Amino acid sequence: MPSLSDAADANFLVHAAWAQRRLAGMRVIRSGVTLVDSGLPCDTFNCILAARLTVGIADAAIEGALAHFRAAGRPFSWWVGPADRPADLAARLEAAGLRAAEAELAMSVRAEAALSAAPPAPSELSIERVATRSQLADFAAVNAANWSPPDQNVIRFYALAAASLLSAASPLRYFVGRIGREPVATVEVAVGGGVAGIYNVATRDAFRRRGFASAMMAHALEDARAAGLRTAVLQAAPDGVGVYRRLGFAEFGTIREYKPPPS
């Protein structure tokens, strides 16, 4: 049986690579590591992850992956999780010139336990599953607003990937929270690795501290439970850890992001 770390990695691959495998101009390359290149100048959608390398080939595989993005001239992130190998991968990435950029907690919870701990949803918030291009554009707009000014590459990616992401075959489910007709919050559920992965938990600045993130999470967990998934996993940035712990999430490792130094 795969470990929780391996299941979380398999789920992260679904989140990071499922659409890119299906779109012209985007590439997913697997060779001891998985390299995802969206073709966009945005490290949100260009990444290297899920390294399963032996000591003997690790340095050559690292150099090959870095050479791809150097030749493409696109930014990227290399994500290192608890299941990645070799054990000294982070040190090897730093020796190859990458720098630690961010650390997030890998966390998990049993869906039933989290739903029992969830507070009542705010009455003014309505939550809908994304089923149309217009709804997906609203999802993208809320997430793009995490940057100032909003990152247009986020808008572009979801527009390019809309047909795949909205298809019946998609393992990615998107939800938008609204006040009236205005989109204010989002969450994504990725189905893969035998677990539900929670991503893109976002609330627009003007609507924070009103319980919307917890409500979106509870909705995502209910969706996961309805799909027969008992365990949920996520990568928690520091400002979200408190919300997740209140829902019963517990950490099982750390996920670190590495990037090239600023040029």
Segment 120-132, tens digit of pLDDT: 999 999 999 999 9
Provide, rounded to the nearest whole percent, the portion of the chain with pLDDT above 90: 92
Distances, alpha carbon 125 to alpha carbons 100, 146, 221, in Å: 37, 20, 17
pTM of the model: 0.95
Strands (E), 87-181: 99-110, 125-129, 172-179
Give the C-alpha separation, 17 to 34, whole Å: 9
Give the C-alpha separation, 51 to 61, whole Å: 9
* Residues 203/243, Cβ–Cβ less than 8 Å: no
Provide, rounded to the nearest whole percent, the portion of the chain with pLDDT above 70: 100
Domains of the chain and any CATH numbers: 4-104 (no CATH), 109-253 (3.40.630.30)
Q: pLDDT at position 30, please? A: 86
Question: How many other CB atoms sit within 10 Å of the CB of residue 115?
Answer: 18
- Burial class from Cβ neighbours inside 10 Å (0-12, 13-18, 19+) for residue 101 reads middle
| Higher-confidence position of 103 and 25 | 103
Q: Give the orientation angle of helix 152-165 with respect to helix 133-144, to 10 degrees.
A: 150
Give the C-alpha separation, 161 to 181, whole Å: 24
DSSP structural state of residue 45: T
* Residues 147/98, Cβ–Cβ less than 8 Å: no
Give residue-wise pLDDT tens across range 76-110.
Answer: 999 999 999 999 999 999 999 999 999 999 999 99
Question: How many other CB atoms sit within 10 Å of the CB of residue 56?
Answer: 8
Question: How many other CB atoms sit within 10 Å of the CB of residue 120?
Answer: 9
Give residue-wise pLDDT tens across range 181-206.
Answer: 999 999 999 999 999 999 999 999 99
